[in-house]
Structure 1
Amino acid sequence: MEMDPRLREAAETGNIDALHVLIRDDPYILERVDQIPFIQTPLHVAANQGHVSFAMEMMNLKPSFARKLNPHGFSPMHLALITGQTRLVLRLLKADKDLVRVKGWAGLTPFHYVVTTGNSRLLVSFLEASPECIEDVTVRDETAFHLALKEDQIEAFNILIGWLQRTRRTHGSVFSFEKKMANWEDDEGNTLLHIAAKKEQRDALKLLLDSQLWLQVKAKDSDGWTALEIIKKANRRGVNINRNTSDEVDTKIKQLKDKVTCERIRVLVDRTRHSMPVDMINTMLVIMALVITAIYQSSLSPPGSVWQDNDTAPDPSSNTTSTYHLSNKNIFNTSISIFNESGKAGKTIMNPHMYGLFWFLNLATFGFTDLVTVFLLSSFHLFLLLAVPLYMLVISYFCSMTILAPTVTWAYLNLFFLVLFGIFPFLLLFVLLVFSKSIRQTMAEIRYRSRMREALGMKFRGPGALMFCSQYILDGIFGLWMPSA
């Protein structure tokens, strides 16, 4: 069954008035077309001919036509792309951004078609309008990344990788989405590395190795080959790996193709923020602020107060428990003799054994609260500005505990923590690096990547190496805070 010839003629000529006349004569003329599963609707015809006004009027009257497939498996947006009707494509995108995800034959969406044809401007527009389209796969389980490599659209692949590194999307944890897309396998077990190696695409391989830390470099395809083995096999044949570059691209396209450096931090912070409800973050920050205030105050005014003068206990009935009145003759001595035994002015009068229990509980609470607060503050763009005062508060805390310590041993212990936290920011990256992955696994991955670079004739030195190391550190930090599912 086909649509009314008069309706087809109106669509072919773009005659909106004729369409209105047909509807007045037969109010169900469009409804009958909509009841047929696969049919060339008036919107298909208008999209094929490039009649923008008629197509938009049809979208207004019958939006369901935009998602119907014709007998050849194309939606109206598919046809507009095939015939090069860019203006109509953008109008349809503006009317309904999800049209880029309509699947045609073999599961190919308009977004997939744009990737395979290498239209960089439309590719960026589709990603901005509907970021979810990056997750759509064909019936062969191919993502847009697979299609770009299989069709030798290296520029489109560069844009997709750049978008993947910058996206704020998360699937339960900070890195789960990026890991999933970078290591996706099609129905033949081919990852992006396998396809790039088989297609002998040097630029794509270099981009993957430089930008994607979480690549499964040892993964095997359906034939049992790893990407490195495929590369070595191609090198033995003496095949020259082709390069594919583009001279003229828009600013947004260039930006997506550039290597991700400092922007990586902001991306990971945003992913963390999206992984936690805002109400929960706000509530926990309020609670943590109250706990930190109470604990810090206890370091200034420990239980029982402090000695007011050498070997002179404070008057319990006085209200000066938090004020330390030192005699003039002891001001200098106290300031330089913080390791004197108890009984000296400015030292806590607490029994050293009770002080130990107080110190442990106080430090455990203060430390845990600070760590939770740092984690919560990392969800905001001004994390560093918010973290610096908190870091200085920790230093001040240990300064106070060092001065008030009742014995030399406790003073030295507090001084140790003071020095430790003084250099803590420099030790943090190393510690997180060790605990985020095992040393053996990390070295094995680096060696395997080095072998792949050597097989491709690539150097590990320079900006690529710096980017790999910096990204490993960043991924280690955020992976420890928000571990993958």
Structure 2
Amino acid sequence: MVSERKLYDAVSQGDVTALLELLNNDPYLVDGISFPCSRNLLHIAAMHGQTSLVDALLNLNPRLAWRLDSQKSSPLHIAAAEGHVEICQKLLPVGAPETCFWRDSHDMNPLHVAAMKGRVEVLEYFLQVSPFPAMERLRTGGTVLHLCVKHGQLAALKILVERLGDFVNATDENGETILHLAVRCDQLETTKYLVENKKIEKRIRNSMGKTALAILDESPPGTTRSFLEHRKILLTMRRSSLISLILPSKLTKMTMVVAVLIATVAFQTTVNPPGGVWQDNTSAHKAGDAIIAYSNPKDFKSLILTNTLAFFSSMITIFLIVSGWTTLHSFFSVIAWYSALMSLAAITLSYDVSKKLITSNGKTLDLSSWSFFLRILCLMLLTFIVAGCFFNVLEWYLYWKRKPRQQELLTTGPVLSRFFYRIFLRLDAWCVYVRS
């Protein structure tokens, strides 16, 4: 008992001389002594961050790095939990890389433990050695990312999100991502970070078919400010998801193909118009001139106008995609998308003009003025504005019909939404009156 106490004091205080003196008197103590929780000398040295003692013990008996305590924790688990990165750097080469995968009684490997405790330096070291232990799932189906969110370790979560690629969208046994869990745990800063991060898929539904916003709506009443701030963040996510529906995720692939095809058709129609070109020079025309430019000049002007519009709008789309500007800001994506729509409309009108030119009784529209295209563009813009307002009001109404936190919504939040909520309240009251 005296030797055990002296050994513990020597290891915890980093007294290498005293430790070696005790071990010289009884070499069996290196491997045979056991402290509470079945921990050996290396466990104790790792727990107290005694790097010099760890070196001495590993030189005396490297097998100590493989020993587990009563909680199935290796010395590497202990060092990771305490955040002693230098000790982890000494233990890992001795214990071999597979010790990073060893599970304790809580089904966590050393990297899980470091993430749960927020040991950022240890976590970065483990990820430099190998990212695969971080992708090991817990028995419950959760991941190291879920552990970070559950224990409020935002700094550790940021490191893992940057390093683990698509694994950041992994789900647990309930089909919930870390965004679902952040909302459940009322982690406002974590929710804000996840919504702003482009790697995180925001529209994933859990096994019950619920999004993060639906989980917030069903959460028990808490502080009004926390609920409203969470909802504001998630509604921003909703608006961005609606934009992503309007602007396809494969904009740089499918839109490029369509734009190149339209530009090619417009170019070919311009250099080879319907009816062909004159092959000889006369006093009335020159070789290479379009025949329909003399026989039907008004429709030829409309054809050139529509083809030019289709060609240049397609070129704008191609330029924005090739230059990569569409990935820098959503504004350029909107420009590219509207240019693609304009090229589709123009090439369709060009087909209508060409049909009249090659048929005896074809009818077409008068496209000789730019005001026609301005009216089309204004109509498209007005359609999207009206549709956007309609769907926004519809979203508010459906949210109101679920009746989550009505009093909070009537007294707080944006002025415009409160205005509509009061209208919905009166509408509900009127419907009840009519039914009665």
TM-score by length of 2: 0.58
In structure 2, the partner of 1:294 is 268
Given the alignment, which residue of 205, 214, 234 partners 1:193? Answer: 214
**Residues 225-244 of structure 1 mapped to structure 2, 5 A cutoff:** none
1:393 Cα deviation after fit: 11
Alignment of 1:48 with 2:86, yes or no, is no
Given the alignment, which residue of 148, 155, 172 partners 1:138? Answer: 172
Separation in structure 2 between the aligned mates of residue 322 and residue 10 of structure 1, nearest angstrom: 91
Q: 2:206 is paired with a residue of what secondary structure?
A: coil
**Residues 64-75 of structure 1 mapped to structure 2, 5 A cutoff:** 64-75=98-109
Contact 2:263 2:314 in 1 (8 A): no
Given the alignment, which residue of 30, 33, 55 partners 1:17? Answer: 55
Separation in structure 2 between the aligned mates of residue 269 and residue 44 of structure 1, nearest angstrom: 47
Tell me the amino acid that sits aligned with residue 269 of structure 2.
I
Contact 1:115 1:156 in 2 (8 A): yes
In structure 2, the partner of 1:303 is 275
1:112 Cα deviation after fit: 1.9
Separation in structure 2 between the aligned mates of residue 273 and residue 75 of structure 1, nearest angstrom: 41
1:192 Cα deviation after fit: 4.7
1:286 Cα deviation after fit: 5.0
Contact 2:135 2:143 in 1 (8 A): yes
In structure 2, the partner of 1:470 is none
Gaps of 5+ in 2: 1-36, 327-331, 420-436
Determine what percentage of the aligned residue pairs are the same residue.
18
Separation in structure 2 between the aligned mates of residue 292 and residue 204 of structure 1, nearest angstrom: 55
Judged with a 3 Å threshold, the aligned counterparts in structure 2 of structure 1 residues 271 and 281 are, in CA distance, closer, same or farther, namely: closer
Judged with a 3 Å threshold, the aligned counterparts in structure 2 of structure 1 residues 447 and 392 are, in CA distance, closer, same or farther, namely: closer
State the Cα deviation string for residues 385-441 of structure 1 (Å, max 9, x = none): 767888599879979x98xx879x98971328954432334333554688999x7x8
- Higher relative contact order, chain-length normalized (CA < 8 Å, sep 6+): 1
1:200 Cα deviation after fit: 1.6
Contact 1:288 1:369 in 2 (8 A): no
Alignment of 1:381 with 2:348, yes or no, is no
Judged with a 3 Å threshold, the aligned counterparts in structure 2 of structure 1 residues 324 and 185 are, in CA distance, closer, same or farther, namely: closer
In terms of mean alpha carbon deviation, does 454-463 or 262-271 score higher? 262-271
Separation in structure 2 between the aligned mates of residue 302 and residue 377 of structure 1, nearest angstrom: 31
**Residues 274-353 of structure 1 mapped to structure 2, 5 A cutoff:** 276=253, 286-298=260-272, 301-305=273-277, 314=284, 318-322=286-290, 346=297
Separation in structure 2 between the aligned mates of residue 367 and residue 48 of structure 1, nearest angstrom: 63
Tell me the amino acid that sits aligned with residue 250 of structure 2.
T
Judged with a 3 Å threshold, the aligned counterparts in structure 2 of structure 1 residues 132 and 418 are, in CA distance, closer, same or farther, namely: same
Contact 1:305 1:348 in 2 (8 A): no
Contact 1:196 1:204 in 2 (8 A): no
Say which structure is richer in helix. 2
1:304 Cα deviation after fit: 4.7
Separation in structure 2 between the aligned mates of residue 94 and residue 263 of structure 1, nearest angstrom: 34
Gaps of 5+ in 1: 170-176, 214-257, 307-311, 326-341, 350-354, 466-485
Q: 2:250 is paired with a residue of what secondary structure?
A: helix
Alignment of 1:271 with 2:271, yes or no, is no
**Residues 108-257 of structure 1 mapped to structure 2, 5 A cutoff:** 108-163=142-197, 167=198, 177-180=201-204, 183-185=205-207, 192-201=213-222, 202-203=224-225, 205-206=227-228, 210=232, 212=234
State the Cα deviation string for residues 337-393 of structure 1 (Å, max 9, x = none): xxxxx867x4579xxxxx9xxx8xx989x9799789959966842556767888599
Separation in structure 1 between the aligned mates of residue 364 and residue 211 of structure 2, nearest angstrom: 59
Contact 1:266 1:381 in 2 (8 A): no
Q: 2:171 is paired with a residue of what secondary structure?
A: coil
TM-score by length of 1: 0.53
Q: 2:367 is paired with a residue of what secondary structure?
A: helix
Separation in structure 1 between the aligned mates of residue 39 and residue 230 of structure 2, nearest angstrom: 52
Tell me the amino acid that sits aligned with residue 319 of structure 1.
A
Tell me the amino acid that sits aligned with residue 86 of structure 2.
S
Given the alignment, which residue of 426, 446, 449 partners 2:396? Answer: 446
Separation in structure 2 between the aligned mates of residue 41 and residue 124 of structure 1, nearest angstrom: 27
In terms of mean alpha carbon deviation, does 120-129 or 375-384 score higher? 375-384
1:52 Cα deviation after fit: 0.9
Q: 1:91 is paired with a residue of what secondary structure?
A: helix
Separation in structure 1 between the aligned mates of residue 116 and residue 199 of structure 2, nearest angstrom: 31
Judged with a 3 Å threshold, the aligned counterparts in structure 2 of structure 1 residues 417 and 91 are, in CA distance, closer, same or farther, namely: farther
1:145 Cα deviation after fit: 3.1
In terms of mean alpha carbon deviation, does 9-18 or 286-295 score higher? 9-18
1:128 Cα deviation after fit: 2.5
1:319 Cα deviation after fit: 1.3
CA RMSD of aligned residues (A): 5.8
Q: 1:447 is paired with a residue of what secondary structure?
A: helix
Separation in structure 1 between the aligned mates of residue 317 and residue 153 of structure 2, nearest angstrom: 43
State the Cα deviation string for residues 440-481 of structure 1 (Å, max 9, x = none): x8765431234557543345545999xxxxxxxxxxxxxxxx
1:154 Cα deviation after fit: 2.7
Larger Rg: 2
In structure 2, the partner of 1:334 is none
Separation in structure 2 between the aligned mates of residue 140 and residue 87 of structure 1, nearest angstrom: 31
In structure 1, the partner of 2:111 is 77
Given the alignment, which residue of 366, 371, 380 partners 1:428? Answer: 380
Tell me the amino acid that sits aligned with residue 373 of structure 2.
F
Q: 2:158 is paired with a residue of what secondary structure?
A: helix
